[in-house]
Amino acid sequence: MQNDYILQPNVDLDGLTRSVKGYDQNDVACEINVVEEQPLTIFLNGQEIVTAMTIGDYPDYLALGFLKNQGMLGADENVLGIDYDEDLKIVVVRTDGQTIYEEKLKKKTRTSGCAVGTVFGDMMEGLENLVLPSAELRTSWLYHLSNVINQTPSLYLKAGAIHGTVLCDKDKPLVYMEDVGRHNAVDKIAGWIHMHNETVADKILYTTGRLTSEMVIKCALMGIPILVSRSGFTAWGVEIANQVGLTLIGRMRGQRFMCLAGKDRLIYDEK
Amino acid sequence: MQNDYILQPNVDLDGLTRSVKGYDQNDVACEINVVEEQPLTIFLNGQEIVTAMTIGDYPDYLALGFLKNQGMLGADENVLGIDYDEDLKIVVVRTDGQTIYEEKLKKKTRTSGCAVGTVFGDMMEGLENLVLPSAELRTSWLYHLSNVINQTPSLYLKAGAIHGTVLCDKDKPLVYMEDVGRHNAVDKIAGWIHMHNETVADKILYTTGRLTSEMVIKCALMGIPILVSRSGFTAWGVEIANQVGLTLIGRMRGQRFMCLAGKDRLIYDEK
């Protein structure tokens, strides 16, 4: 299938999957591919920020996108460089400015702190006055995107147990990232966007993960007006999408979907 | 179907799902059920610990299980009471002892802090000398469990976009918890276990979520020797399961599964 990807999953790259031996239901020895999962510690200048579990590709995009999405890197700060130490599993984002991470870290200690925790207090910041751009979403694009993405060779098809996120332009998937954590995949997309100064006002974000409050907030703060998922919704995700005027499409399978917010952008050109 | 549940999803309880209006692929207005998602802030005595996103049922089990699973409540500490304020969405676990949360919170600030973060440093603690009990797992139990659990009325069947975890005894599912966060569902099981002083050495933990390192570590630290999932594996999850001697069954669908660790407990009585 012809496609216009700028970046797509590199299924043959060493170190992203591993063949593991086991036994099936008939006691027959077999080997299956499983995805890797390793800690990556993100630093902002001299400050350790977080240790994330990741498959390990694109540590630079992940670190940059994570810091941007957490509001730890302002628009006025220049990123001088990003250094990745593969042995230590450390990535350092270097800037020229004074960062506000100390203030942010203080908040985190209070509102978060673990795998189930969320940066609730932080995440809702910036939503109040947010106005998402007007944009167009044609049903024909949705069907084409879903078709192309599902058939793209991926770690998901190779090994399973992984989430994918794709930045799309109309009916074209552009950048397809995967990770064991669904938020990592989105953060890697955000990192790519910032590194390449890509315009997002007319883009679509496609994710395999559920449309929870955190995912909706993240997409809105990135400035992308349309969020599509093959998975389902949570009530609060829908509520926030309505609040900020984000177009929310879920349960996208073949030529079926549900639109629960921002229907004004939707054009039914193919039914 | 006859079953032996002590606790199972309460699909008719107000406030766990909501009917939301939207439009489908044919521009036809429709209503679907979506799960609720709300913040719950957990306190240990006077100390705020974390804000988790949850569907909101069993805040007491969630809080107790979370604190136990995070190592913030020692075995020697008596829980005097658990108070839940529904309006403020706050749950307070009260103990009579000096807790070690201050030390733990300090660690968290360094190693974690957000939705994608993990308490890596904390979580690996206690695994070194762990010996999981010998136990038995019959394939007939697996097939029966899978069948009963999949047919149990659940929020998943009603609204989707939710994870489930079930504590099982041989071929009987006992306690079935669901939550928007898969770790919350496990924590609620842990809370139930501690509240009822349930023996776990002969139990099986079934989850709909992926068998990542965090899930394997959590199950092992809870002392449950067998972990089963309908989802897939990560390489590190398999590695840790092998290290601590946990039986790891994944891709469990109908009468098919893969065992990637701890096969010694498995008895093929039904093929």
- Report the gap between the CA of A175 and the closest CA in chain B (Å): 21
Which residues make Cβ contacts (< 8 Å) with residue B169, sequence separation at least 6?
Answer: B202, B203, B204
- Are the CB atoms for B207 and B184 separated by under 8 Å? no
SS3 of residue B250 by DSSP: strand
pLDDT for position B104: 60
Structural domain boundaries in chain B: 38-123, 137-267
Q: What is the pLDDT of residues A146-165, one digit of tens each?
A: 999 999 999 999 999 999 99
Q: Which of B114, B227, B246 is the best mutation test for A, with the most CBs of A within 10 A?
A: B114
**Nearest alpha carbon to residue B208 among B185, B229, B233, B237:** B229
Beta partners for A54?
A38
pLDDT for position B111: 35
Mean pLDDT of the residues in chain B: 90
**Nearest alpha carbon to residue B69 among B199, B221, B197, B216:** B221
Torsion angles phi and psi, residue B181, rounded to 5: -100, 130
**Same fold yes or no, A38-122 and A137-267:** no
* Sign of the alpha-carbon dihedral angle for B61, B64, B68, B71: positive
CATH architecture for the domain at A137-267: 3-Layer(aba) Sandwich (3.40)
Contacts of A210 in chain B (CB under 8 A): 161, 180
DSSP B93: E
Residue in the structure block whose two tokens are 């069907």: A143
Q: What is the pLDDT of residues A161-187, one digit of tens each?
A: 999 999 999 999 999 999 998 899 999
- Are the CB atoms for B121 and B111 separated by under 8 Å? yes
Element (DSSP H or E) covering residue A174: strand A172-179
Element (DSSP H or E) covering residue A140: helix A139-151
Q: What is the CATH number of domain A38-122?
A: 3.10.20.10
CATH architecture for the domain at B38-123: Roll (3.10)
* pLDDT value at A123 more than 70: no
pTM: 0.92
Q: Quick check: B267 contacting A, CB < 8 Å?
A: no
pLDDT for position B117: 38
Which of A32, A50, A236 lies closest to B117 in CB terms? A50
Least confident of A80-94, B61-75, B242-256: B61-75
* pLDDT value at B252 more than 70: yes
Q: Quick check: B29 contacting A, CB < 8 Å?
A: no
pLDDT for position B100: 64
Compute chain A's Rg from CA coordinates: 19
| Spatial distance between the Cα atoms of B171 and B146, rounded to a whole number of angstroms | 9
Contacts of B256 in chain A (CB under 8 A): 24-25
Q: Answer yes or no: do B17 and A112 touch at CB < 8 A.
A: no
